[in-house]
Structure 1
Amino acid sequence: MAQWLNNKKDLPPLPPSPHDNPNNLRVLAIGTLYEIQTFYLDAFPDEGLKLRAQSVTRERGGSAASILHLLAQFDGVSPFLCAPVGSRRESTRVESELDDLGIGTEFLVRREGEQVPTSYIMQSLGTGSRTVIHHNPLPDIAHSEFVRLFKHHFILDSTPSISSTRSVDRQPSSPGFPRRVPPFDWVHFEGRATPSMLSNLRWVCDVSREQGYRDKVVVSLGLERPVQDMEELIRFADVVFFSKALAMQATHASPKSFLLSHALASSPHSILLATPSSHTSGAALLSVPNKEYYQSSELVKDTSETPSRTNGKRISGFGGEEDGDFEIMDLSGTGEAFIAGMIYSLTRRLLPGLPYTPSDEEYTPTADEDKGRWRLEECLRFSTELAGRKNRRPNWDGLAEAMAEVGWFSARGVM
Structure 2
Amino acid sequence: MHPSQHSLSPTPRPLRIFATGTVFLTHTLFLPSYPHPGSASRAQAVQTSRGGASGHVLAVLAQLGVTVPSAGEVEPMLIASLGSNTEAQRLRDVLETSGVRTKYCKIWPGLGVPTAWVMQARDIRERTVINHNPLPDVSHEDFIALLGPVLAPENYVGYTQNQLQPPMGIVREQQSSSPVPIFPNTLAPSAPRPSTSARPGTSSSSHSAPPSPHTFRVPSQTPHSPAPFDWLHVEGRSIRTTVANILGVDGLARERKWRSHCVISIDLGRRAREGAEVLLPHADVIFLCTTTFPSLSSSPISSPNSTPTLRAILLSLARHARPHALLVLNAGREGAALLSIPTREYFQSSGWSPPPRSSQNASHSHSNSTATTTNGTHPRDGVESVRSGSDFWASAEAADTSLASRDSASNVGSRGEMSRQGSPHPRYSGESFHPFDDGDEGEDGDGHGEDGRHTPQPRRRQPEPERVEEEELDEEGAHAAFVAGMIWALSRRLLPGPPYTPENNPNGDVRKDGNVGDLGVRWRLDECLRFATEIAGRRGHASPAANSTPSMVGSTVKESSEWDGLGEEMRRAGWF
Name the TM-score, length of structure 1 as normaliser.
Answer: 0.81
1:102 to 96, 99, 103: 99
Task: Give the Å deviation of 1:226.
Answer: 2.8
1:81 to 78, 84, 97: 78
Aligned to 1:246, what secondary structure does the other structure show?
Answer: coil
CA contact (8 A) 1:115 1:137 kept: yes
CA contact (8 A) 2:349 2:529 kept: yes
Amino acid at match of 1:108: C
Distance in 1 (CA, whole Å) between partners of 2:84 and 2:285 is 34
Amino acid at match of 1:213: W
Are residues 1:190 and 2:235 paired? yes
Task: Give the Å deviation of 1:311.
Answer: 12
Which residue matches 1:249? Answer: 297
Distance in 1 (CA, whole Å) between partners of 2:515 and 2:92 is 43
Which residue matches 2:262? Answer: 217
CA contact (8 A) 1:62 1:313 kept: no
Aligned to 1:196, what secondary structure does the other structure show?
Answer: helix
Cα deviation 1:270-316 (Å, max 9, x = unaligned): 10011132xx1111100000000011113327868xxxxx999615x
Amino acid at match of 1:28: F
1:130 to 108, 127, 130: 127
Are residues 1:235 and 2:281 paired? yes
Aligned to 1:122, what secondary structure does the other structure show?
Answer: strand
Which residue matches 2:352? Answer: 299
Which residue matches 2:248? Answer: 203
Which residue matches 2:434? Answer: 314
Cα deviation 1:28-77 (Å, max 9, x = unaligned): 11011001111122222111111122221211101111111211111221
Amino acid at match of 1:199: A
Kindly tell me the number of residue pairs found equivalent between the two proteins. Answer: 373
CA contact (8 A) 1:26 1:186 kept: yes
Contiguous gaps of at least 5 residues in structure 2? 1-8, 66-72, 167-220, 302-308, 358-429, 445-473, 545-561
1:372 to 493, 506, 521: 521
Task: Give the Å deviation of 1:246.
Answer: 2.1
CA contact (8 A) 1:34 1:119 kept: yes
Task: Give the Å deviation of 1:371.
Answer: 5.4
Look at both structures and tell me which one has the larger radius of gyration over its CA atoms: 2
User: Structure 1 residues 182-191 or 352-361, which shifts more?
Assistant: 352-361
Aligned to 1:72, what secondary structure does the other structure show?
Answer: helix
Which residue matches 1:111? Answer: 108
Aligned to 1:333, what secondary structure does the other structure show?
Answer: helix
Cα deviation 1:319-361 (Å, max 9, x = unaligned): 6xx2x46426775412111110110000013579533322412
Distance in 1 (CA, whole Å) between partners of 2:526 and 2:347 is 6
CA contact (8 A) 1:155 1:207 kept: no
2:565 to 398, 405, 408: 398
CA contact (8 A) 1:63 1:313 kept: no
Which residue matches 2:51? Answer: 61
Contiguous gaps of at least 5 residues in structure 1? 1-18, 305-309, 410-415
Which residue matches 1:148? Answer: 145
Which residue matches 2:329? Answer: 274
RMSD (Å), alpha carbons: 3.2
2:157 to 161, 164, 168: 161
1:261 to 307, 313, 316: 316
Give matches, 1:402-413, under 5 Å.
402-409=569-576
Instruction: Give the direction of change, closer, same or farther, for the CA distance of 1:167–1:125 in structure 2 (3 Å limit).
Output: farther
Amino acid at match of 1:392: H
User: Structure 1 residues 268-277 or 365-374, which shifts more?
Assistant: 365-374
Instruction: Give the direction of change, closer, same or farther, for the CA distance of 1:150–1:252 in structure 2 (3 Å limit).
Output: farther
What is the percent sequence identity of the aligned residues?
Answer: 38
Task: Give the Å deviation of 1:367.
Answer: 10
Aligned to 2:351, what secondary structure does the other structure show?
Answer: coil
Are residues 1:37 and 2:11 paired? no
Distance in 2 (CA, whole Å) between partners of 1:20 and 1:313 is 44
Give matches, 1:345-364, under 5 Å.
345-350=489-494, 354-362=498-506
Which residue matches 2:483? Answer: 339
Amino acid at match of 2:34: F
Instruction: Give the direction of change, closer, same or farther, for the CA distance of 1:302–1:281 in structure 2 (3 Å limit).
Output: farther
